[in-house]
Structure 1
């Protein structure tokens, strides 16, 4: 196996060097941050080191070990959730004094909206084992939450959403994936003229990716900027977060994105409560988003509020943000995997 090492100030730059030399079939064997030693500490920056090789066929036993490890992890998560349900099984109903449905407390722990929880409980027999009840709940969540797997494929994609939802970081992840994995020529456009830090952050990402970069403040400037990116395969627009009272700015943003025919993806933070998520989704309905990207799932103590969102808003859920690392922490999940994440958060709440 031809193993090579690549060093650069950032992980993205190291990945780009790896892809340029080894191509799309390269596989990362290890990665680490290397601190300079001795006198070099005074003038040399830390380097990100990647060891890579051309991907070859995995040994069968290695694949089996990986699968078994994941199964063991899921089983442990499920056992913890079962233990939590068992501990609450005999909790009496506050009004009647009689034992409530054994899953009622579990749904409350998850942060599921009460009305939605009642609908779930009606479909879960109260006399089944805890394990069967959790499996039924997992199936109900998987069927209830609309999910469309995949990343944006349209040429012009805009990320919209409230302040602090993680739009700029998510855009960087999408752009890095399109550039490094799919080999696309990328353009990045900022419409956020109010936050200079966000503009400079996006400009830095563009430089690292070798992407074209532009700034626009209205529909006319956006159209002119996009004309300069005619040779780009895909363009990502970073839209500003807009305060509740700034209705004029929100209307102007709708007009700008409509004028350039952008495909809008709504970015929401999974660590918000269900009321905030529902209100944000309703506010951005006028943009006709095609997907919802849920960020900060690693920070959310429970995913019930995100599940509850879809009782009011049926725009499909897309990829999940699972951390701040670019481009690693962007996860595509199917209905079953998302439901498993939601149920596993029962154990985290204990």
Structure 2
């Protein structure tokens, strides 16, 4: 049996490719969904009988069999004709002479040859175990094995037939796809009802998933920008410790400053990291940015005012703030007041997408004092529940600006868009 694998945008497309190349006898053996740059792809494996198997099935078994048709030209070959027996000696006193006896011998031989050419009666069935050396059964066994393979393949592919889906099972399959990614169904209360309506309209399980992808893609809220280029832009990153604020800040400095030939200024407003200002200065220099350090909220307004006084019309100012724990609410309020006094309105809340829903929800609630305008999600390369991105964006109502997908600077910080987020959610 010959196996061949095809990759296409849909299972129907793969089936058409197989039918064109392998013929109508091609049988679907296995299929799975794979990820591609432009969306999911389906990898399907088809089987078709090799020419040797077809020839084996058509081969006439050795020896005569009552269910096997033997053409007349084969039955009348000289080597298969019965040997003519000599006429018996006439009995004493027979009424025929020796000449008559000799004349009757050819007639009896012809009758024997005609009788031998008639189809043989079916032999008695012998109940014994099959042995490969029995040529009369080899063709039947090959046919039975091929039939069993076809039945197994049909059972495996029964769900892929483009018939109307059972509403209960098809809806649950589509919902399970989202729930495996950590999607909270409470963020979309009518989702189950809408899926049931689509299933009752005749959509199968795969069509429901495609419908769901389109609906999710249309509901993402994204805003990937850092202000206008005709005036100075001041952006602050806030969030819990370990969320990736500093690394995201450096990546933004390269992407929106260095690569766009735009003067960039980094303002470090973290008194705890005052001793690491030298190391931060080296990183800022590598990113093509200037560095200014403020000793906490009390110096933030003064330092920012000086930076803006000397700023170019299109200068980019990025502010790195410390992370605050649950017991540091008063310090967080002081920093938020300083940012508000400095008229910093473009505040991005940076969150670690690898954390659980509970931790992310508490981080969003704690950061409400900063009045963030957008969300940055990091550590998407290590999270197993990307549905948390949807959950927190839906609950907070804040748009998503950027996605951190790894440690490389600056390529592992990407602008958020609906297509990228949808692929992330349906990747599992």
Fold shared, TM-score > 0.5 on shorter chain: yes
Q: Report if aligned partners of 1:278, 1:313 keep a CA contact under 8 Å in 2.
A: no
Separation of aligned partners in 1, 2:408 and 2:38 = 27
Structure 2 stretches lacking a partner, 5+ long: 1-33, 44-155, 160-167
Aligned to 1:161: 239
Q: CA 1:294–1:77 in 2, change beyond 3 Å: closer, same or farther?
A: same
2:367 is the counterpart of 1:271: no
Alpha-carbon deviations, 1:233-254, whole Å to 9, x = none? 1111100000111111111111
Aligned to 1:107: 178
Query: Greater Rg, structure 1 or structure 2?
Result: 2
Separation of aligned partners in 2, 1:75 and 1:223 = 46
Aligned to 1:94: none
Q: CA 1:118–1:102 in 2, change beyond 3 Å: closer, same or farther?
A: farther
Q: Report if aligned partners of 2:376, 2:400 keep a CA contact under 8 Å in 1.
A: yes
How many residue pairs get matched? 261
Q: Report if aligned partners of 1:188, 1:206 keep a CA contact under 8 Å in 2.
A: yes
Q: CA 1:323–1:152 in 2, change beyond 3 Å: closer, same or farther?
A: farther
Q: CA 1:299–1:338 in 2, change beyond 3 Å: closer, same or farther?
A: same
Q: CA 1:135–1:208 in 2, change beyond 3 Å: closer, same or farther?
A: same
Alpha-carbon deviations, 1:172-192, whole Å to 9, x = none? 011111222221111111112
Separation of aligned partners in 1, 2:296 and 2:364 = 24
Q: Which range moved further: 255-264 or 332-341?
A: 332-341
SS in 1 for 2:388: helix
Q: CA 1:131–1:78 in 2, change beyond 3 Å: closer, same or farther?
A: farther
- Equivalent position to 2:300, from 222, 231, 237: 222
Equivalent residues in 2 for 1:181-220, closer than 5 Å? 181-195=259-273, 199-220=277-298
Q: CA 1:243–1:72 in 2, change beyond 3 Å: closer, same or farther?
A: closer
Aligned to 1:325: 408
SS in 2 for 1:168: helix
TM-score (norm 1): 0.67
TM-score (norm 2): 0.56
Q: CA 1:201–1:290 in 2, change beyond 3 Å: closer, same or farther?
A: farther
Alpha-carbon deviations, 1:169-212, whole Å to 9, x = none? 00001111122222111111111221357644432222223422
Equivalent residues in 2 for 1:195-344, closer than 5 Å? 195=273, 199-229=277-307, 230-232=309-311, 233-262=315-344, 263-344=346-427
SS in 2 for 1:323: coil
Q: CA 1:72–1:168 in 2, change beyond 3 Å: closer, same or farther?
A: closer
Aligned to 2:192: 121
Q: Which range moved further: 100-109 or 323-332?
A: 100-109
Alpha-carbon deviations, 1:284-307, whole Å to 9, x = none? 122121210111111112311111
Structure 1 stretches lacking a partner, 5+ long: 1-70, 81-85, 90-97
Q: CA 1:79–1:180 in 2, change beyond 3 Å: closer, same or farther?
A: same
Separation of aligned partners in 2, 1:132 and 1:270 = 29
Aligned to 1:143: 218
| Cα distance, 1:274 vs structure 2 | 1.9
Alpha-carbon deviations, 1:136-156, whole Å to 9, x = none? 221222233311233454621
Alpha-carbon deviations, 1:296-340, whole Å to 9, x = none? 111112311111113311011111111111111111132233112
| Cα distance, 1:226 vs structure 2 | 2.2
